[in-house]
Amino acid sequence: MTTPPVGIIMGSQSDWPTMREAAVLLDELGISYETRIVSAHRTPDRLWDYGKTAADRGLQVIIAGAGGAAHLPGMMASKTRVPVIGVPVLTKALSGVDSLYSILQMPKGFPVATMAIGAPGAANAGLMAAGILALQDAELAARLDAWRDALSASIPEEPTDD
């Protein structure tokens, strides 16, 4: 089976409603991806195996989402040179600020491109992955430009009362 360019990984099934927003964007832009539940704490061996094989399998970008003690994106970045985009999942206890700080403050040497908390961050992760892949893919670049133009065109110039 051919490896898609993007891997979307998440710490739990409960992260999927958020991470699906990244998948929706990749679908819209015609980018294939795989999805996996990979928990830093509950399935550490799965995390290690995924990171160890990511580059050789041909993954080009990993989008990693987790909530709370959100160690998945950072640990994945420590295990592979494949760029990791981190998505802090919204939490009940601390509104996702715990997730954000867990992902954001990486030590020098192991970067994670950290997005906003929650669904907007997941959607932007999809767009960020598209932008990275578009550097080497002119057709994708054109689709991404068209997507951005359509978004701009959808914004009205004046507010209404409705």
Footprint on this chain of ligand RP5 (rule: CB under 6 A): 11-12, 14-15, 39, 66-68, 89
Residue 56 annotated as lining a ligand binding site: no
| Least gap, CB of 37 to ligand RP5 (angstroms) | 9
| Least gap, CB of 71 to ligand RP5 (angstroms) | 8
Residue 42 annotated as lining a ligand binding site: yes
127 contacts 25 by C-beta, under 8 angstroms: yes
Q: Closer CB to ligand RP5, residue 14 or residue 105?
A: 14
| Least gap, CB of 100 to ligand RP5 (angstroms) | 12
Which residue's entry shows tokens 């950290």? 114
27 contacts 47 by C-beta, under 8 angstroms: no
Q: Closer CB to ligand RP5, residue 38 or residue 128?
A: 38
Residue 99 annotated as lining a ligand binding site: no
Q: Closer CB to ligand RP5, residue 38 or residue 123?
A: 38
Q: Closer CB to ligand RP5, residue 89 or residue 112?
A: 89
Q: Residues comprising the binding site for substrate?
A: 12, 15, 42
